[in-house]
């Protein structure tokens, strides 16, 4: 991964500040290419690095990626185990590359059900990249939009906050990574599915949505640019 150029002023450039990615179609890509389904996840992981680099170099400040949902625990034990090993191995091998590229990595999601090894990998990656300024990669791992809201409410209740003090800003601050990850401006989902699948329910309140039939492993920087060109033509009304 090459060094990110650093955040640009995107306010008047038609460039989203925060792009959310739903990385769909890895297994179908593998089947159609006569490969084991797990190979699809590997290729998808490799492509996330490519697209993230392209996004940061295009001036996007935040990229969030839905890499493992709370519902994904329902998949086979073999597949879940492979995904966990892919995460741990990937960040163990590539944290130095991310740091060299000036990329900050944060995780959004629950630590429940995660092994100690996975939690260590998550915490080490966040710690080592905490001061980087070339862009923020927010990995939604063991993540569910409804669970995020439940956990936020629990934190507020545990803090003993009076009901009349609870407002949108307080809820925002109690989300995973709170105010460190802003609202999603533009959501891209691959593979032809047209739904948000419990992703970023709070932060996507006013997001523009983009759907493509391309499977995630085949989604290229050129495809990303086509999506960004589409975004640049839209008028974000935000209820007005």
Phi/psi at 18 (5° precision): -130, 120
Cα–Cα distance, 30 to 32 (Å, whole number): 6
- Residue 68, H or E segment: strand 62-69
Residue in the structure block whose two tokens are 């190979």: 39
Taking only Cα atoms into account, the Rg of the chain, rounded to an integer number of angstroms, comes to 18
Cα–Cα distance, 28 to 149 (Å, whole number): 31
Tokens of 18: 């925060």
Degrees to nearest 5, angle at CA 130 with 129 and 133: 85
pLDDT of residue 110: 97
pLDDT of residue 93: 78
pLDDT of residue 95: 80
**Residues of the chain predicted below pLDDT 50:** 5-12
Q: What is the CATH number of domain 18-144+184-232?
A: 3.40.1180.10
- Residue 19, H or E segment: strand 18-22
pLDDT of residue 9: 43
Spatial contact of 106 and 138, defined as CB atoms under 8 Å apart: yes
What's the first-to-final CA gap in the chain, in angstroms? 40
Spatial contact of 31 and 83, defined as CB atoms under 8 Å apart: no
> 99: closest CA among 137, 63, 64?
137
The residues assigned a catalytic role are 24, 72
Q: For residue range 193-221, list pLDDT tens digits in order.
A: 999 999 999 999 999 999 999 999 999 99
Phi/psi at 189 (5° precision): -120, 130
pLDDT of residue 88: 85
152: left (phi over 0), alpha (psi -120 to 50) or beta: alpha
Spatial contact of 134 and 6, defined as CB atoms under 8 Å apart: yes
- Residue 108, H or E segment: strand 104-108
């Amino acid at each position: 991964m090459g060094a990110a150029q650093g955040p640009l002023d995107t306010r008047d450039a038609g460039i989203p500040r925060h792009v959310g990615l739903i990385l769909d179609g890895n297994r179908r890509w593998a089947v159609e290419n006569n490969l084991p389904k797990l190979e699809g996840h590997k290729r998808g992981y490799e492509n996330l690095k490519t697209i993230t680099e392209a996004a940061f170099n295009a001036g996007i400040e935040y990229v969030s990626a839905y890499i493992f949902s709370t519902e994904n625990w329902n998949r086979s034990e073999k597949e879940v185990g492979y995904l966990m090993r892919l995460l741990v191995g990937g960040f163990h091998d590539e944290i130095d590359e991310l740091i060299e590229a000036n990329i900050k990595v944060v995780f959004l999601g629950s630590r429940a059900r995660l092994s100690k090894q996975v939690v260590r990998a998550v915490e080490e990656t966040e710690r080592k990249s905490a001061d980087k300024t070339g862009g923020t990669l927010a990995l939604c791992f063991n993540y569910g939009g409804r669970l995020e809201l439940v956990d936020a409410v629990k934190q507020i209740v545990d803090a003993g906050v009076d009901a009349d003090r609870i407002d949108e800003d307080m809820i925002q601050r109690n989300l995973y990574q709170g105010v460190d990850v802003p609202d999603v401006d533009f959501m891209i989902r691959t593979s032809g599915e047209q739904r948000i699948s419990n992703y970023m329910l709070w932060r996507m309140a006013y997001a523009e949505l983009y759907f493509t039939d391309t499977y995630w492993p085949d989604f290229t920087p050129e495809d990303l640019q086509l999506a960004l060109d589409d975004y640049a033509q839209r008028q974000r009304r935000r209820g007005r």
